Amino acid sequence: MTTKEEISMIGFEIVAYAGDAQTDLLAACEKASQGDIDGARALHESAKQALIDAHDVQTRLLSQEAGGGEMDVTFIMVHAQDTLMTTMLLEKQTKYTIDAYQRIARMVAESREVRERYLAETIKTLTDELNRIGLEGFQINGRSKHYWSIYQKMKRKGKEFSEIYDLVALRVITQTVGDCYSALGAVHSLWHPMPGRFKDYIAMPKLNNYQSLHTTVIGPTARPLEIQIRTFEMHEQAEYGIAAHWLYKRSGGSSAVKATSAQRLDDQINAL
């Protein structure tokens, strides 16, 4: 005969096992996003074992009678059942996620360090060309896409891996709109543009007033390279929103004044 107190304790035990499983599953997803597939698999197996333990406790409970004849399902038991169900769904999603990352890792077929080195060499090539044509005061930033970003873009846009062209991407930030188009010409003189992959959001801004030139080229070693080109003012609005754009205009583009104004605005907001 099982008392209500014992039922509650067993319910807490189920929740504890499910909680351990959830912790391992979330950690598994994080490791997978960092490319540590083996570590993710190990945590997934640990979570599965915790779920088995939780099911064993649940089976033991259901095989017993509560005091008074019929089992008295208390709030904690309802909570335990819900937690267990949620964890089971999370386990299925985690397995799918790890499998997806493993496929992406195989398709990328090179370490992030190799891509970072490729990025540095590409930035140097473009920097030399922009200097050669006389552009001044520009910046070039680059990034190598994480597995997490690749996975999210494939999922969000319903694309296959072969349709993701920005595994490695550059952003060129210039002083003027004219410099943007000069930089675009330099990019296309260095590398052949991919058909259908050029968008002029400067001449035709998006509805949210986003402005930039986007082009994808066949870069060094014949691999796709996405490049965005915009002015500093466009970059402020794209990255930080209309408030930052207003501060930029007000400061005349001065970094020192802009930082002071931004801090003052932060102080005003914090005081509300």
What residues act catalytically? 79
pLDDT of residue 142: 86
Closest CA to 174 of 131, 226, 119: 131
- At 176, give phi and psi (nearest 5°): -135, 165
What Rg value do the Cα atoms of the chain yield, rounded? 27
pLDDT of residue 161: 53
pLDDT of residue 256: 45
Spatial contact of 47 and 25, defined as CB atoms under 8 Å apart: yes
CA dist 101 to 21, 168, 224, Å?
20, 17, 21
pLDDT in tens, the chain (272 residues): 456 677 777 777 888 888 888 888 888 888 877 767 788 889 888 888 888 888 888 777 666 554 444 445 556 666 777 788 888 888 888 887 777 677 666 656 555 677 778 888 999 999 999 999 999 999 999 876 666 666 666 666 666 555 555 567 899 999 999 999 999 999 999 999 988 889 999 999 988 888 999 999 988 877 788 899 999 999 988 877 754 545 555 555 544 434 444 444 344 333 33
Closest CA to 219 of 104, 113, 149, 124: 124
Instruction: Note the pTM of the prediction, 2 decimals.
Output: 0.53
pLDDT of residue 62: 65
